[in-house]
Structure formats: C-alpha cells, structure tokens
C-alpha cells in the first residue's frame, strides 16, 4: 500500500490539535477506510517514530512526547542539520520547509529569528 503524505500531514495536524475523534470518525473525516487509517497510523509509528497514543476517555489520538515531522531531503552534514533544528525548535517555532531558495537564505532566516 502506498503512503499519502498529504494524509500524514493532515493526521499530524489533527493529532497535534487533539481533535481526531474516534478511529471511525477520523477515517470518515479523511475519506478512507479504517484499515487505511490504521495502516497510516502504524506507518507513522513504525517508520517515522511518531509516539502516537489514543485516549479512550477523550476519544482522540495524541503524541505522548513532543516533537515534529520533517519532510525534506538532507544534503548537508548531520552537525549542520542538528544545529538548524535546535535553533528552529527553540521557542516552539514550527520549522517550515523552503523550496527553491539558496541554503544561505534559509540560514539567514533562522538567524534573524533567534
């Protein structure tokens, strides 16, 4: 089965808002079957290390640890990427992926935020 990244991003947003509802309601909201929903949730857990849990009382999925998803390809060395992430996460910033701009512009942007 293929993974729909739009669905992963939508699920991430709903999980962060703690407003997913029951699995049945969430699957209907996303326009997928329960099986596809569980496949996507398991993919997020198993391959993307998302600490997704379910609260039966509140009837919603949530993250049991704080973090964020990053969808990008990595060309630069790990130390540089870790420093960018550390700086971008500071102050609860949401890391935005920039397309079609020079890496130095991204560095300048984050330097101005800190």
In contact, 53 and 61? CB cutoff 8 Å: yes
Contacts of 114 (CB under 8 A, 6+ apart): 87, 90
Cα–Cα distance, 42 to 26 (Å, whole number) = 15
Please give the model's pTM, rounded to 2 decimal places. 0.62
Residues 57 and 84 in one domain: no
Residues 58 and 93 in one domain: no
Residues 54 and 84 in one domain: no
**Neighbouring C-alpha atoms within 13 Å toward the C-beta of 97:** 8
Mean pLDDT on 91-103: 40
Task: Give residue-wise pLDDT tens across range 30-54.
Answer: 999 999 999 999 999 998 889 999 9
Residue 10: which domain range? Answer: 5-63
Cα–Cα distance, 112 to 8 (Å, whole number) = 30
């Amino acid at each position: 089965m293929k993974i729909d990244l739009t669905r992963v991003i939508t699920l991430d947003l709903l999980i962060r808002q703690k407003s997913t509802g029951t699995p049945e309601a969430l699957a209907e909201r996303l326009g997928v079957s329960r099986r596809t929903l569980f496949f996507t949730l398991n993919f997020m857990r198993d391959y993307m290390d998302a600490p997704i849990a379910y609260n039966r009382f509140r009837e919603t999925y949530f993250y049991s640890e704080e973090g964020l998803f990053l969808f990008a390809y990595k060309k630069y060395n790990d130390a540089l990427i870790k420093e960018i992430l550390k700086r971008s996460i500071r102050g609860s910033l949401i890391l935005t992926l920039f397309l079609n701009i020079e890496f130095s512009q991204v560095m300048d942007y984050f330097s101005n935020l800190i």
